[in-house]
Amino acid sequence: MTGVRILAVIAALFLVAAFALASMLPPLLPLGQAVSMFNHDWLVAFQEAVRKGVSEWAWVNLAVPVLLRPVWLMPAALGLVFAGAAVTLSSRLGPARSRRRRS
């Protein structure tokens, strides 16, 4: 039960962050440009880490398409994933048993 509430709160935080980013920044601002505006060194370090650690293919086919999407899309997607996890976990718990004695 506690896990469901934690996942629901995390989902709500991500969805509120997505709404805040969509309303305060230009709606089609790419994630890569937003990260670059905040701190350009992070983007360069991430690129080097992916290229050296995994491969050039991972950078070109996985990281770049994510960085080209709008900045609000990543927190919205994470919010939906956490909300789905909360709903899935809550449906597995089953109904609560009554503690009343029936005579």
- Look at residue 46 and tell me if it is in a domain: yes
Please give the residue range of the domain that contains residue 48: 30-69
The answer to whether 41 touches 82, Cβ cutoff 8 Å, is no
pLDDT, position 19: 95
- Based on the domain organization, do 49 and 60 belong to the same domain? yes
pLDDT, position 103: 63
- Based on the domain organization, do 63 and 78 belong to the same domain? no
Dist CA 70 CA 21 (whole Å)? 10
- Based on the domain organization, do 1 and 13 belong to the same domain? yes
- Based on the domain organization, do 34 and 65 belong to the same domain? yes
Per-residue pLDDT of the chain (103 residues; tens, 9 = 90+): 788 999 999 999 999 999 999 999 998 999 989 988 888 898 888 888 888 888 888 888 988 999 999 999 999 999 999 999 999 998 865 566 666 776 6
The answer to whether 35 touches 42, Cβ cutoff 8 Å, is yes
Helix (H, G, I), strand (E, B) or coil at 30: strand
DSSP symbols for 52-75: HHT-HHHIIIIIHHHHHSBTTHHH
pLDDT, position 56: 85
pLDDT, position 27: 82
Count of domains observed in the chain: 2
